């Protein structure tokens, strides 16, 4: 298991003060690490989360978990 350096900093209580943007492009499956990281960020910091996906199968459930507004657009 590979632990993301940002996740490790959070788990060790070192904070993310210099962090401005966190981007995950889905090239590697970090689903568990990403879920933990988002949960920790939301519990400790006032963060804005923007998620974009063309293929997500459960957008309502994800929006509920993120406490986010779901916007669906079919324009191409």
Spans of all domains in the chain: 5-66
Position 44 scores a pLDDT of 77
Q: How many residues does the chain have?
A: 76
Burial, 24: exposed, middle or buried (Cβ in 10 Å; 0-12, 13-18, 19+)? Answer: middle
Distance CA 75, CA 72 (A): 9
Position 1 scores a pLDDT of 46
* Per-10-residue mean pLDDT, the chain, length 76: 62 63 62 76 77 84 86 86
Position 30 scores a pLDDT of 63
């Amino acid at each position: 298991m590979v632990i993301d350096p940002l996740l490790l900093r959070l788990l060790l209580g070192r904070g993310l003060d210099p962090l401005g943007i966190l981007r995950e492009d889905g090239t590697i499956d970090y689903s568990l690490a990403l879920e933990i990281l988002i949960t920790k960020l939301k519990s400790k910091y006032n963060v804005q989360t923007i998620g974009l996906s063309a293929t997500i199968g459960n957008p309502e459930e994800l929006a509920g978990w993120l406490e986010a507004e779901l916007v669906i657009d079919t324009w191409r």
